[in-house]
Amino acid sequence: MDIKEFEAEYTYDYNLDVANIEIKQDYTHGKTIDLAFGVFLDFDEKFLPVNLEIVSASKIVGIEKDCLVEPNGNVNIIIGNDLIKVEVTFEFENENECIQLTALNDYGFPISQTNFAII
């Protein structure tokens, strides 16, 4: 399986409770899919995942909003023939929270694996 690694920028809107993890390099948006209620994954025109948005992030991750302001962490996205699996790890001083989401690959995205490093 081909593994691609990207540096990503993490932003969090405290008032809206929206976390966003987006690769730093330029890309042209291709398609957005809804992985789960409030979790959206954007792909570029070459079918590489380029942005992950989590709406109501504190509720989905299950932690205080203050913890989401400046976490470290990473995102691992695996795209297979019949599924898309997203694993997000947020690392805090005293905690390590992980969310995993799986959706069907009804879109026919090519098999790949992508890792985002949140910087």
Instruction: Supply angle C-alpha 22, 28, 33, rounded to 5.
Output: 65
Do 81 and 111 form a contact (C-beta atoms < 8 A)?
yes
Look-up of token digits 């898309």? 84
What pLDDT score was predicted for residue 96?
A: 72
Question: Residue 30 carries which side chain, given as an amino acid letter?
Answer: G
Q: What is residue 1's predicted lDDT score, i.e. its pLDDT?
A: 65
Question: pTM for the whole thing?
Answer: 0.86
Q: Can you give the pLDDT at residue 95?
A: 67
Which of the residues in the chain have pLDDT under 50? none
Task: Tell me how crowded residue 110 is: count the other CB atoms within 10 A of its CB.
Answer: 11
The token duo for 23 is 């690769």
